[in-house]
Amino acid sequence: MRAWATWMERLSLIHKKKECSSGISTDWSEILLHDIQHSRLALSPLLGTRQCTSPGKWVAPPKDKLRLDVDTAYNEESNCYAIGGVVRNHEGQPVLAFGKKINKPQSIAYAELLVIENGLKISQMSNLLLHQVTSDSLLAVQAVTRLEENLSYIWSIATDIRILLDSLSNTSLSHIRRSTNIVAHSIASFAISSSSHFVWDIEDFPI
């Protein structure tokens, strides 16, 4: 559907001399490119010890360990982007959450990497020792774990994340299914409507 809509918009511009008012040619083309890149990487074997694809349900970290889930969100009506994440313990209880709006990213992959980087830094500042970091963007996970294959526009931030991970002991970066990342996505979506960025600790979570 995205490919068809982009193609029809292109034909309209070429043959009917209409101005582009819907934003499909730019925003949807970027999303389509991400879909293609994501699919291509999904078909390739997963390499390295820091990445894996999760089962179809959220899996708690080992006892006394912490897990960070991150995600991005986009609101078409307001044309706003945001990132968010949540740290939970072995009982699934939230320990920390964060979210903030961001400027339109260079690409969706860049936004997914940005939220991973922010989550790691916020966790470090809060003295939280993470056992696992997860993202539902396979492209972002592989950008970090397979630096030699990175596109130039994401190589720098992927390298920074790799350095952060290497500075932590026994912290893995993993890919998870989108259906198991609902909480992080909800927090990112909430950040779109928030007046400012936020970092909640265990006492700040809204009831």
Considering the entire predicted model, what is its pTM? 0.74
Task: Quote the CA–CA distance of 106 and 44 in Å, as a whole number.
Answer: 24
Shared domain check, 176 and 96: yes
Pairing of β 66-75 and β 172-175: unpaired
Instruction: Examine residue 102 and state whether it is found in any structural domain, yes or no.
Output: yes
Mean pLDDT of the 90-109 span: 93
The yes-or-no verdict on residue 43 having pLDDT over 50 is no
Half-sphere exposure at residue 51, Cβ-oriented, CA atoms within 13 angstroms = 22
pLDDT in tens, 143-167: 998 866 556 678 889 999 999 999 9
Domain total in the chain: 2
Domain residues for the domain of 121 are: 66-201
Shared domain check, 99 and 33: no
Instruction: Examine residue 60 and state whether it is found in any structural domain, yes or no.
Output: no
Instruction: Examine residue 49 and state whether it is found in any structural domain, yes or no.
Output: no
Q: Identify whether the C-beta of residue 159 lies closer than 8 Å to the C-beta of residue 112.
A: no
Across 27-41, 73-87, 192-206, which has the greatest mean pLDDT? 73-87
Q: Identify whether the C-beta of residue 174 lies closer than 8 Å to the C-beta of residue 133.
A: yes
Instruction: Examine residue 52 and state whether it is found in any structural domain, yes or no.
Output: no
Q: Identify whether the C-beta of residue 102 lies closer than 8 Å to the C-beta of residue 114.
A: yes
